[in-house]
Every structure is written in structure tokens, then in C-alpha cells.
Chains A and B, each alone.
Chain A
Amino acid sequence: MSVAIRIQQVSKSFGAVQALDRVDLAIEPGEFFGLLGPNGAGKTTLISALAGLVRPDHGTLSVMGHDVQSDYRAARRQLGVVPQELVFDPFFTVRESLKIQSGYFGIRDNDAWIDEILENLGLTPKANANMRMLSGGMKRRVLVAQALVHRPPVIVLDEPTAGVDVELRQTLWAFIRRLNEAGHTIVLTTHYLEEAESLCSRIAMLQSGRVVALDTTANLLRRFSTHTLRLRCRGEMPADLALGAAQSGGWWSLPFDRYEDVEPLLARVREAGCSIDDLEIGKPDLEEVFIRVMQGEARGEGR
């Protein structure tokens, strides 16, 4: 058993909608893995299939070596899922919800661990509040806590920071990072690409149910994104530079690979008689990677 999550040739249709199309993924133990893609790409469906909430039409999935269908009890014990929807049980307090969730996983006397989760998520003051009384952000924290009651080695978070304030995002990521450092495998979907860029060591991009990019974050950035020298200047841009550059709102964006290339670029611009009013350096970012991967797919340049 060398992988935390193995997804093999998984397909799923809802009527005419092909939500997943022969998805293959293997995620190693201890990885911090990002699952990205536009709305409707199939991220939630893939997570649901992993959790046994959705039955794939084709293919197999396993968690820590346990098939999610044939060995579902073991698979589910290894997996903690934070669902995308902000769901809660209005009949119970925060602590009751967590104790009940522990019981579902067969765990009695979980109070010490529950206290620790509450503390780490800043929920201690709300422990005895009824779920109905909590703000959206607090409910989201409880959802995270519920996914962790059974100390799962694999934790999947489906857009945990959607519509959530900055403070919670920071608390949440600090905690999730610690769990990852302690050896937990983390899988994350998010719309905040800068979050994914700073957290995830490897990323898969999904579009229309297919994996269209899969690589380490560093490789993706190298492959699909560049540094750019952004200039606002008066005068004529040399023709060969203008050819490789983009222009918008009075700014030129000149791509370059290494910082050593900046000086010669600036020299060329100056020699051409341009006077520079303003200057910025743009670093490669996942936003650009994402847009280029998705556009490439739309033009059929993908696999």
C-alpha cells in the first residue's frame, strides 16, 4: 500500500451530463494536493465518489489501499471529508454534533481530541452553542471539525474557504498545514488560486470531467507561466519586443525567464528612445497557468 488515494478510470454520468470521464489519479501519503477546475468540472463528484456518496458508472477508487465499495468500512475510516455545502444539524450543539459524529465512526470517549480540534479551530467559546446560532464561518469550522473526529489519515476539503472571512482562512490553513506536517494527506479544492499555489505541492486541473493538467505546482508554473516585466512608457517599443509582448491599458507586459534578462530588456527599451514612467515585475502565478490550461483545452490543444 503505497498510495493514499488511487482513482482508476473513473467515469460518472448524470443523465446527459458526463461529470467524470475516465479520471486517473494517484495521490501519495503526506501530499498536499490541489484539485482545481471551473464550476461544473466534476471536482465535487470526484470527491463524492471517493466518499461513497456517488457510485461511479465505471472504474475504481481506494483510500489507503481500501476499495471504497467492497471495503467501504475501512475506506471511510481513513477518510475525512469537508463537504462543499454548508450543512449542519439544527437539533444539536457544536459539542453534541462532534460527539455524535465520533460515535458514527465507532469512537467512544473522544473528548480530549474534540477539545483539541475545537481549540485549534477557534471554536472553544462556541462549544455549547446550538448549531443554528452560529455564523456561516463558524458553521464551516464545525464542518471541518466533524471531518476530523476520527483522525483520518486522508482529509479532503471541498471549497472550505468559499465565502469565508480572512481570519478563518488563516486559522484554517494554519491548522491544515500542521496536520499535513504531522503526516496527513490533504486534498483541497478551491477557487482561490493563490491559496492553492501557496499550499499545494501538486495540482490536478479538471475540465468537463477530465484531468487536463497534472503536475507539481512548481512544474506547472514553469511550464505555463512566466515572469513579466510590466512597463508604462512613452515612445516606440522595439518591434521584436512588441511582437512577444502584450499591451493593455497603457501597460506593456514583456515575458522573461530569468532575472538576469531584465537589464538587457530595459536597455533595449531605452535605446529605442522610450522613456519609462512606471515599472513592475510580475511573477509566475497559478491564475495564469489555470487560464492557459483551460484555454488550451477549449482550443483542443490538450491531450
Chain B
Amino acid sequence: MGESAMIKLDALGKRFHGPSGLVTALDDVSLEIAEGEIFGVIGRSGAGKSTLLRAINLLERPDQGRVFVGGVDLTGLRSDALRLERRRVGMIFQHFNLLARRSVYDNVALPLELAGLTRREIRDRVRPLLELVELADKADQVPAKLSGGQKQRVGIARALAAEPRILLSDEATSALDPQTTRSILGLLKDINQRLGLTIVLITHEMSVVREICDRVAVMDAGRIVELGSTFDVLTRPTHPLAREIARGLEPELKLDHLFGERFSEVPVLGGTTLLRIAFSGPHAEAPVISDLVRRFNVDLNILSGTIDHIQDRPYGVMKVELAGSVEPVVAHLKSLELGVEVLGYVRSALRTAL
């Protein structure tokens, strides 16, 4: 990146006076986002995601640090120059923020009116945008008549009207149902590929990140605690919060419910071991399980298993109960670059009965 960074955030700091004292919303955040990238920011509510996003077009001016967009230091601009730069950064919102008294057409036209284009120029821009978001037939409707997904499509068309290089998305799918979310994310991906638009989106849902992001930053208490490709962060999270968020995508398996009294946090004599195996990397698609059984003469009972594709790469997670010697199995799996984790132990049913 370096030279070609579309967005460069340099040591941003921001504090707010909240009801219970000072709140640090941004704590020394530095970040570079490349042109054409779809970059996700994920974190819990209050982590500072919106503040970070709003710093990019200086809707929220940081107390410290500098913001570069397309090589221009926005933090150093006078307000009129800043307004011109903002036209090059589109933004969409969780609650759409459409003008209730303007038609769909006039909503999309607004940024162009503000920029002083003629009616004719505006029409030539708005029509194809409405086609792009498949709302040409709704041009004369008011937003109240539209569904949530349609409203967000209007929001997207409006954000694209001034032909920005960057699109900022603040929880744009959080008010939508899963199916509509997928179609909106599909549209964003499409726009990213067709127009080469750089997209920064913030969300609290890992599924959104998994769906379209190239890279992701995990935020906690105003800091970026993990940053990497979506595949790496999802399959090999290092920070506890990143791990918690990534695991949130897996089907929940309540081990203590499944095994009741027999479940144990510590090893038990003559019991079995519960393992979580993450399949990624070069051996993700190898027939690992049958190989294990043959090679180490162990018994494997599969408790749950999922196979997913993240950024078009296969990624599977399996939870198994293993009877037999554990150490060689774990060592072997690690040598295959698979993720292995001991989840707990189970006393043998026979012993408990005695």
C-alpha cells in the first residue's frame, strides 16, 4: 500500500464527554486502506466504529492525528475545501436518512443539486443510477412507500450520484432482514467490482464481513485489536474478542448440556477428549478424519461439523469426541497446519454408572 493508500488514518484520537466522564472513542488508531478494497470494521456497540468511520469524511473531527483521503490531508483543509472533498466520499446509513418529502428521484438528485448541476445533467446521472439499483420504476414514489431494502438502494444510488471514489457504510444492513442484507451486500460487491469503488463498512455482524470484506479490523474500546485478511481473522483470530466474534459464526454446541455431569474441564482417567478442529490452509480438503482413525487407531465421534467458504476459500470446523491417545493426534493435526483446540473432557458413561 503506502503510496497507493486511498485512505490513510494517522494516529487518530478522539474523546467525548459522556454522562459518566470522559469516553475514549478512538485511541491512537492508524490504518491504511487500499484503492478498490472492501474494508470491514467490526466490534461491539460503543467500540468506536462509527466515530472511526465518521472521521474519514471529518463528520467527526478527531482531537489528534490526521486523515488523508486520496493523498489529501483533510484535517488541514478549510471548511469550503473540505466540502468539495466530501463530495468524493459517499455515505450510507443504518436508517437510510432519506428525505421524506422528496421522491426517490429527487433524493438521488440531491447531491447533484448541491453541487450545482443543471436539471439536464442531473437527469443524465440519476436515471442510470436508478437502473443500477433496480428502482427505475419507483422514481416518483416517496420513500415511505418503499421497503427497507429499497430504501437502502435509494441510499446507495444517492451516495453514488456524485461519482465518489469511496463509499462509507455505517451499519447499512443492520436494520434489514438476512435475505435483504444479502442482496444489499451483493449490490455493494457489484459496485465495488464495476466501479472500482473503495468501500469501508462498519458492522457488528461477522456474517457481513465474511460475505464481502477483503480485510477486516476488529475494534475494542477505541483501539484496533486485530487486523488482517478476512480469512485470517476468521480462521486464526489471536485477540480474545476477535476469537469470540469469529466463533459466533459457528453453530453453538453446549458441551455441558450435551454431556451433563460427565463433562469435565480437566482430564479424567479413562475418559474421552473433546477437540475442535479447524480446517483451513493447504490440507483443508484432505480426508483428515479417516486418516486419523487408521493411522492412530483411535475412535472418533463427530459432534458437529460445518464447511464454509470465506473469500472463496474453504474453511471447516469440526467438533469431535476422541477416545484414545490424544497427544500424537494433536501433534499430527498441527503438522498439517490445522487449528486444534481441546474443548474439554468427558468421563466414561460406565464409570459414572458405577
Answer yes or no: do A and B interact: no
